[in-house]
């Protein structure tokens, strides 16, 4: 029995790699205006705000021109995000308390483009 080795491969066009991040420093003064509109699947905009102490890229998360908070993207995937000043993401989960704005928001960010290495 002979085993064939895979020497090269191509990624399918539909291949998507996503990163999940939790929104930090929730902005309660802006959340009170849009918290009733936020639900899983809503699109949010990420705008570059520089880097944090560890060198991870920091983005401001906004929804309809209201600031929700900030998120840091880094680690292994930092190279995919560092040249982009704006990104789009989707809300994956949101935890709310009765009569209060959101307590926790998790978002899903698409990796911009995988580098094809041969």
Residue 81 belongs to what domain range? 18-110
Note whether residue 4 is domain-resident: no
Look at residue 69 in the predicted model and tell me its pLDDT: 92
Note whether residue 55 is domain-resident: yes
Residue 75: CATH number of its domain: 3.30.70
- How many structural domains comprise the chain? 1
Note whether residue 87 is domain-resident: yes
Return per-residue pLDDT of the chain as tens, 118 residues: 555 555 555 556 666 677 888 999 888 888 888 888 889 999 999 999 988 888 888 999 999 999 999 998 877 777 777 778 888 899 999 998 777 778 899 999 877 555 555 5
**One-character DSSP codes across the chain:** --PPP-------TT---EEEEEPBS--HHHHHHHTTT--TT-EEEEEEEEE-TTS-EEEEEEETTEEEEEEEE-GGGHHHHTT-SEEEEEEEEEEE-TTS-EEEEEEEEE-S------
Distance (Å, rounded) from C-alpha 72 to C-alpha 76? 13
Look at residue 3 in the predicted model and tell me its pLDDT: 58
Note whether residue 38 is domain-resident: yes
Note whether residue 6 is domain-resident: no
């Amino acid at each position: 029995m002979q085993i064939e080795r895979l020497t090269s491969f191509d990624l399918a066009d539909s291949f998507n790699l996503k990163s999940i991040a939790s929104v930090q420093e929730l902005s309660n003064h802006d959340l009170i205006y849009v918290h009733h509109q936020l639900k899983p699947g809503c699109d949010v905009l990420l705008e570059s705000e520089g880097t944090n102490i560890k060198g991870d890229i920091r983005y401001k998360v906004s929804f309809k021109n209201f600031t929700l908070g900030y998120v840091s993207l880094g680690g292994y995937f930092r190279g995919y995000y560092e040249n982009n000043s704006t990104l789009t993401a989707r809300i994956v989960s949101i935890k709310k308390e009765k009569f209060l704005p959101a307590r926790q928001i998790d978002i899903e960010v698409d990796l911009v483009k995988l580098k094809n290495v041969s």
